């Protein structure tokens, strides 16, 4: 019996990188460029350093992050990522500058947020009246505190009774602890939850391994549509509540 619904955030609640055109329209650097500039600026205030050196150290740290994230299912925090960059450069920052770098990096998608996907508010309002809802999402750069703020700013946070963000849980999807954390917060068993997300490996096969149902959501990303093992494929929020109810009915 399905008692609760868990949602991925990126490309499920919000359209990942839809903030990039907003940045460009304001004459701002891309997120990738700005993150590197933030570190370079802070280091340069202490002792001059070439931008190329910072870029290389950042690229190496990002590559390392991706290995740990995708193969070990561990999500470094922003603080840990910045420390890795500084260690690679053999440099350090005073606490005030280090804290500034961490905050400016983590706030970028809060200050200029990606777009909420069309129809999400109405669908969540409908589903929250019948199921418990929880976010289960990796926090790649923006920490869980910032992701909650994005949801609050779009008036979506009110519909969720729990939040399992990878930087807070200590693991990333599809690690079981992400879904165990959600189940604990919602007061249900893991197998009583249904998960919705856009990536077959993390959002479908991960939940399936735990005895959950899972829906592949393809409104903004459909790269996994042709090979998914999802219980259903949904491409718009207008169709999501009915698809969930249909799966719930088959389990009664």
123 and 107 in a common domain: no
pLDDT, average across residues 69-92: 95
Q: What is the pLDDT of residue 251?
A: 61
234: left (phi over 0), alpha (psi -120 to 50) or beta: beta
Contacts of 76 (CB under 8 A, 6+ apart): 65, 68, 69, 84, 167
Of the three residues 111, 132, 164, the one that is the final residue of a domain is 111
Do 98 and 178 have their domain in common? no
84 with 172, same domain? no
Q: Are residues 100 and 129 in the same domain?
A: no
Residue 172 in this model has a pLDDT that exceeds 60: yes
Give pLDDT, residue 147.
98
pLDDT of residue 250: 73
Q: Quick one: 104 and 134 in the same domain?
A: no
Pair (83, 142) in one structural domain:
no
Domain boundary among 70, 91, 111: 111
Distance CA 7, CA 215 (A): 10
158 and 39 housed in the same domain:
no
Please report, for residues 107, 132, 133, 206, 217, the alpha-carbon distance to residue 211 in angstroms, rounded to integers and kept in the order given: 36, 18, 18, 9, 19
Shared domain check, 9 and 102: no
**What average pLDDT does the segment 129-140 reach?**
96
Residue 52: per-residue pLDDT: 98
Angle at 146 between CA 237 and CA 154, to 5 degrees: 35
**Residues pairing with 232 in the sheet:** 215
Sign for the pseudo-dihedral over CA of 101, 106, 112, 114: positive
Does 26 lie in the same domain as 84?
yes
Q: Measured in Å, how far apart are the chain's first and last C-alpha atoms? A: 6
Give the domain extent around 32. Answer: 20-111
What share of the chain has pLDDT > 90, as a percent?
Answer: 97
| 27 vs 249, residue with greater confidence | 27
Is the per-residue pLDDT at 3 higher than 80? yes
- Domain limit, last residue, from 66, 82, 111: 111
Residue 89 and residue 120 in one domain: no
pLDDT band at 249 (very low <50, low <70, confident <90, very high): confident
Task: Tell me how far apart the alpha carbons of residues 63 and 59 are, in angstroms, rounded to a whole number.
Answer: 6
Mean pLDDT of the chain: 96
Name the band, by pLDDT with cuts 50, 70 and 90, for residue 193: very high
Q: Looking at residue 138, what is its pLDDT?
A: 96
For residues 229 and 153, state if they share a domain: yes
Burial class (CB in 10 A: 0-12, 13-18, 19+), 85: buried
Confidence of residue 1 (pLDDT cuts 50, 70, 90): confident
Where are the alpha helices (H) located in the chain, listed in sequence order? Answer: 20-25, 31-46, 51-72, 78-89, 95-111, 120-128, 144-153, 166-169, 176-186, 206-209, 240-250
pLDDT band at 237 (very low <50, low <70, confident <90, very high): very high
Among left, alpha and beta (phi > 0; psi -120 to 50; other), residue 3 is alpha
Please tell me whether residues 80 and 37 are part of one structural domain: yes
CA-to-CA dists, residue 2 to 30, 53, 203, angstroms: 41, 52, 17
Q: How many domains does the chain have?
A: 2
pTM of the model: 0.94
Instruction: Output the CA–CA distances (angstroms, integers) from residue 48 to 43, 44, 84, 103, in the order listed.
Output: 7, 4, 19, 22
* pLDDT score, position 252: 53
pLDDT tens sequence across 8-66: 999 999 999 999 999 999 999 999 999 999 999 999 999 999 999 999 999 999 999 99
CATH of the domain at 220: 3.40.50.1000
SS3 (DSSP) at 233:
strand
Could you please report the per-residue DSSP string of 175-196?
SHHHHHHHHHHHTS-GGGEEEE
């Amino acid at each position: 019996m399905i008692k609760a619904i868990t949602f991925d955030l990126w490309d499920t609640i919000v359209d990942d990188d839809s903030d990039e055109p907003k940045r460009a329209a304001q004459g701002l650097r891309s997120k990738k460029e700005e993150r590197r500039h933030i570190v370079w600026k802070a280091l340069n205030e202490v002792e001059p350093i070439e931008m190329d050196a910072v870029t290389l150290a950042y690229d190496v740290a990002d590559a390392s992050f991706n290995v740990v994230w995708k193969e070990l299912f561990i999500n470094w925090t922003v603080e840990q990522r910045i420390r890795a960059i500084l260690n690679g450069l053999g440099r350090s920052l005073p606490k005030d500058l280090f804290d500034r770098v961490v905050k400016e990096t983590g706030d970028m998608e809060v200050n200029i947020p990606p777009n909420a996907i069309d129809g999400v508010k109405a669908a969540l309002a409908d589903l929250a009246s019948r199921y418990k809802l929880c976010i289960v999402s990796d926090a790649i750069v923006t920490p869980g505190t910032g992701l909650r703020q994005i949801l609050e700013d779009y008036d979506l946070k009110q519909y969720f009774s729990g939040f399992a963000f990878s930087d807070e849980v200590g693991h990333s999807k599809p690690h079981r602890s992400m879904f165990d954390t959600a189940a604990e917060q919602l007061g249900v068993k893991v197998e009583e939850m249904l998960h919705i997300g856009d990536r077959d490996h993390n959002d479908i096969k991960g939940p399936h391994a735990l005895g959950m149902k899972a829906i592949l959501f393809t409104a903004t990303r459909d790269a996994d549509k042709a090979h998914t093992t999802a219980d259903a494929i949904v491409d718009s929020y207008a169709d999501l509540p009915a698809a969930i109810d249909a799966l719930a009915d088959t389990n009664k």
